[in-house]
Amino acid sequence: WQDLFVGNDFEFPDRLYRNNRNGTFTEVTSTVLPHTTWFSMGSDCGDINNDGLIDFMCVDMSGTTHYKAKTTMGAMGANTWFMQTADPPQYMRNCLFLNTGTPRFMEVAFQ
């Protein structure tokens, strides 16, 4: 039974839906992920660390230098305030989520 990750560019947060195995899905983002990306541009999944569990990554459009990161981040208006206070919070960077074998994923790209 496959779950569903939806990456939303800008004003809407990414969402992770758990497959209920009856034709329906339950949104579980805030209980499963420590945070999501801010401007997600793509995602992929696979067993990254060879432990037999499906992990996933989500890539953002964050710049590789401080200057590029600041000049591409967009305005800080009312809509972007939401992204900073969302549950879970959103960060402007690539994320690699390892499946821990529990209901929660661990983010390891920033370590």
What are 24-72's pLDDT values in tens digits?
999 999 899 888 777 788 899 999 999 999 999 988 876 677 777 667 6
Instruction: For residue 69, give the DSSP letter.
Output: H
Average pLDDT of the chain to the nearest whole number: 82
The whole-angstrom separation of Cα 108 and Cα 95 is 7
β strands within the chain, DSSP E: 4-6, 15-19, 25-27, 36-37, 42-46, 55-59, 90-91, 95-99, 105-107
How many Å apart are CA 43 and CA 6, to the nearest integer? 9
Please state, for a pLDDT cut of 70, what percent of the chain lies above it. Answer: 76
SS3 state of residue 62: coil
Helices (H), 23-90: 29-32, 66-71, 78-85
Domain, as residue range, for 25: 4-107
Give the count of domains, the chain.
1
- Give the predicted TM-score (pTM) of the model: 0.74
Q: Which two tokens stand for residue 41?
A: 């541009």
Q: How many residues does the chain have?
A: 111
